[in-house]
């Protein structure tokens, strides 16, 4: 289970996205892109045109996290545009199986995200449809929030379900991941770590990515 770090550009400078992505491209594995529509979450960020523009400037694959009301309609376009991974929320998708299959058919990795209060067990049978399970460790919508320890037992249960399913689904945690919390996430079974504030809130984002990786591997 190799550790992967996916810095969130939500905490980067939106007027200098290409430069901020370049700052972490030697150290990170992915670039996490938070798409918010002010309906599924109470915040508005960026959408497909910005992702398309960023794809031309990023040496790393884009890990697109869609916090939007109608992912069935929009997710395929992110995969077709060339995103490496497209994650939809279980709470928002009306036809998750179809949408996850469409994402894969377009050549991207398919991801399913669960909010802190959404149980993982109902989605056990979907593990074969996904390449990554994202467990939110804050309520989605904003960077810089406090890590919710209450989600850790679910991370453990999800790792167990993945093990039992004999699949190679990646287990991502997103929200409040820092030097201080990443070890607990790794110990619980997460292997892909999103970090916004803990990377772009620091003077040296690349060094912060390396420190997070070292902490997760400990």
109, 136 in Cβ contact below 8 A?
A: no
Q: If 0-12 CB within 10 Å is exposed, 13-18 middle and 19+ buried, where does residue 208 land?
A: buried
Least Å distance between CB 62 and ligand DX5?
Answer: 13
H/E stretch holding 183? helix 182-188
Q: How many CB atoms lie within 10 A of CB 43?
A: 15
Which residues within the stretch 119-178 sit at the binding site for ligand DX5 (CB under 6 A)? 138, 140-145, 174-177
179 classed as catalytic: no
Ordered alpha helix ranges (H), 25-151: 48-55, 71-81, 96-105
Site mask for Zn ion (CB under 5 A), range 165-194, x = bound: ---------x--------------------
The reply to whether 63 sits near Zn ion by the rule CB under 5 A is: no
Which of 3, 45, 60, 65 is close enough to bind Zn ion by CB under 5 A?
65
Which residues make up each annotated binding site for substrate? 8, 65, 141-144, 174-176
Binding site for ligand DX5 (CB under 6 A): 8, 10-11, 32, 34, 65, 138, 140-145, 174-177, 194-198
């Amino acid at each position: 289970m190799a550790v992967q770090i996916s810095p969130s550009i939500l905490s980067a400078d939106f007027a200098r996205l290409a430069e901020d992505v370049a700052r972490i491209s030697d150290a990170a594995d992915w670039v996490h892109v938070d798409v918010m529509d002010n309906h599924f979450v109470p915040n508005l960020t960026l959408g497909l045109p910005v992702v398309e523009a960023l794809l031309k400037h990023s040496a790393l694959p884009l890990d697109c996290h869609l916090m939007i009301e109608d992912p069935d309609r929009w997710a395929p376009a992110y995969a077709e545009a060339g995103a490496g991974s497209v994650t939809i929320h279980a709470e928002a998708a009306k036809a998750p199986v179809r949408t996850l299959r469409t994402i894969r058919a377009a050549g991207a990795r398919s991801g399913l995200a669960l909010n802190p209060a959404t149980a993982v067990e109902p989605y056990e049978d979907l593990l074969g449809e996904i390449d990554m399970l994202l467990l939110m460790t804050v309520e989605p919508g904003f960077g810089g929030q406090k890590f919710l320890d209450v989600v850790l037992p679910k991370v453990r249960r999800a790792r167990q379900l993945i093990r039992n399913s004999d699949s190679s689904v990646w287990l991502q945690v997103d929200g409040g991941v820092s030097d201080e919390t990443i070890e607990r996430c790794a110990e619980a079974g997460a292997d892909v770590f999103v970090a916004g504030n803990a990377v772009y809130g620091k003077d040296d984002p690349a060094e912060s990515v390396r420190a997070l990786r070292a902490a997760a591997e400990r």
